Amino acid sequence: MGATNAAPSTQSKFPIPIGLIVGAIALIIVMLLPTPEGLSIAGHRMLAILTFAVIVWITETVSYEVSSLMILSLVALLVGFAPTFSVGDAGQIINNDKLYGTGGALAIALSGFSNSAWALVAGATFLAAAMTFTGLDRRIALIILNVIGTSTKRILVGVIVVTIVLSLFVPSATARVACVVPIMTGIIAAYGVEKRSRIAVGIMIMVAQATSVWNVGIQTAAAQNLLTVGFMNSILGDRVTWFDWLIAGGPWSILMSFVLFFVILKLMPPEADNIPGGKEAVAKELQALGPITGPQLRLLVITCLLLLTWATEKIVHPIDTTTSTSVGLFLLMTPGIGVMNWKDVQSRAPWGTILVFGIGISLGTALLRTGAGKFLGDWVVTSTGLDAMGPFMIFAILSAFLIIIHLGFASATALCSLFMPIMINMLHNIQAGGYTGGNLNVLGMSMLLGFVVSYGFILPINAPQNMVALGTETFNAREFAKVGIPLTIIGYVLMMILALTYWPLLGWI
């Protein structure tokens, strides 16, 4: 999942961080502006809260957990003292005499925790905790590397294969990288090369970038994907299945894996292809693990059953992804057949991620219920003329916007929380407003834009898995961007090609 434990990025001489002060001032300024026509008072206040959230999340002046609690309190207080509203026969906004009340507003602020997508994220973090608790993720990675080989080119291929397999089994990008990085560090040490050598640089950048690439292709690989699914469900009343997501996004991830391999070989060519020591290092670590344990075997069986259930939803059975994951967790923690107990989960689950994810859904829900999301969507459509464009151009413009704005975010979850509900609302409003630009599949377009949220290729700070790899001190931000910029350009062009060819065949665009 997207890490949410970011600490304040800078030290300020003031008692209160500058970014927090700027966010508070912006909130007050927006609230003092006249309420725009067509927007409720509650919606106006939600726009002020949204402005505050954007500034605080971009500047990272406080942790995501703390800022989430601030947002929760602001929604409860500011919306709580705002009047409810209704829509008149002519579509006008009518502010009523009755207030939401702090209790009612707090219910909206906590609504994300009743969303099935939040339950799925919580379950996915527990599943990732089970992987690290039993060591199954490390065993899988070592077995794959041992089979593929440890020449420098084979290591790069091995990283991609490990990433693909772990993306299926470990639904947390940060956890996957945290598992693979120590293994790669050991292999680099076994080569006897400097950690700033091109071999080391290429391997570690590959670990981070391959993770982002496969966050696109597999729905349960990243929190932002599940957040997008949650917004689809709450706004559109529908969602895409795990298998549909894979069929749509998998080809892009496969092609981009080849692109990533050749880009790294071209821009970070290894000093040599065959350096002794790597094969022995992997074999030694694998041997040290001993034979597969009972808990690892049980976890492997349960996870494979989960994958099978996810992939066959609506094909073989009607059980949704969240329900099947809940059943899997029930089995994982059942005495006798499980692999861990609640205390084990408590010490390993990223509770901050779970908190921020719930608040992120709540923020989108509040924008929806107060009419702020619809207002912003209509404003964007009117300002840009998107309603007169074809589906391809709509996707091209919105995806370019997400890629650019992502440069200011250290969390794809935060980016998704702020912009995906607005974009889904906007697409829904375009279609509902007599759209004449073609056949706009709102559900499919929402999924495709969800793919773009995972673009964190340029700056290390744009994704938590990048920061984990950066912590090895094998590469710097300039080297990361050297690989990431062409990846971003090629990835965008490839999505445009798929939007013209493959995705229309699937009926998603």
Which is higher by pLDDT, 124 or 263?
Answer: 263
Residue 276, pLDDT score:
67
Q: How does pLDDT run across 30-64, given as a tens digit for each residue?
A: 999 999 988 999 999 999 999 999 899 888 888 88
Residue 174, pLDDT score:
86
Residue 171, pLDDT score:
84
Q: Is the pLDDT of residue 2 over 50?
A: no
As to burial, measured by CB atoms within 10 angstroms (0-12 exposed, 13-18 middle, 19+ buried), residue 283 is middle
Q: Is the pLDDT of residue 152 over 50?
A: yes
Q: Is the pLDDT of residue 376 over 60?
A: yes
Arithmetic mean of pLDDT, 65-75: 94
Residue 4, pLDDT score:
44
Residue 11, pLDDT score:
47
Query: Per-residue DSSP letters for 41-103?
Result: HHHHHHHHHHHHHHHHHHHTSS-HHHHHHHHHHHIIIIITTSEEEEE-TTS-EEEEEEE-HHH
Query: Which of 60-64, 113-117, 245-249, 276-280 has the largest mean confidence?
Result: 245-249
Q: Is the pLDDT of residue 14 over 70?
A: no
Cα separation, 236 vs 213, in Å, equals 27
Residue 13, pLDDT score:
58
* H helix or E strand, kind and range, residue 107: helix 101-109
Cα separation, 371 vs 32, in Å, equals 19
Per-residue pLDDT band at 457 (split at 50, 70, 90): very high
Residue 261, pLDDT score:
96
Which is higher by pLDDT, 152 or 202?
Answer: 202
Work out the angle at residue 239's Cα, subtended by the Cα atoms of residues 234 and 240, and round it to the nearest 5 degrees: 160
Percent of all residues in the chain with a pLDDT value above 70, rounded to a whole number: 95
Q: Is the pLDDT of residue 201 over 50?
A: yes
Range in 74-88, 93-107, 137-151 the model is least confident about: 137-151
Cα separation, 299 vs 132, in Å, equals 11
3-state secondary structure 420-465: HHHHHHHHHHHHHCCCCCCCCCHHHHHHHHHHHCCCCCCCHHHCHH
Range in 95-99, 186-190, 334-338, 391-395 the model is least confident about: 186-190
Arithmetic mean of pLDDT, 465-481: 91
Range in 148-157, 248-257, 442-451 the model is least confident about: 148-157
Q: What are the angstrom distances between the C-alpha of 116 and each of 122, 227, 233, 254, 288?
A: 10, 10, 9, 29, 40
Q: How does pLDDT run across 112-125, given as a tens digit for each residue?
A: 898 888 888 888 88
Residue 9, pLDDT score:
45
Q: How does pLDDT run across 290-327, given as a tens digit for each residue?
A: 999 999 999 999 999 999 999 999 899 999 998 999 99
Residue 3, pLDDT score:
44
Cα end-to-end span (Å), the chain? 27
Q: Is the pLDDT of residue 246 over 80?
A: yes
Query: Which of 43-47, 124-128, 363-367, 424-428 has the largest mean confidence?
Result: 43-47
Mean pLDDT of the residues in the chain? 89
Residue 10, pLDDT score:
45
Arithmetic mean of pLDDT, 240-250: 96
Arithmetic mean of pLDDT, 241-267: 96
Cα separation, 325 vs 88, in Å, equals 43
- Name residue, tokens 């890629």: 403
> HSE on the CB side for 71, CA within 13 Å?
39
Residue 258, pLDDT score:
97
Q: Is the pLDDT of residue 486 over 50?
A: yes
Residue 473, pLDDT score:
87
Residue 425, pLDDT score:
86
Range in 93-102, 145-154, 429-438, 444-453 the model is least confident about: 429-438
As to burial, measured by CB atoms within 10 angstroms (0-12 exposed, 13-18 middle, 19+ buried), residue 496 is middle
Residue 185, pLDDT score:
86
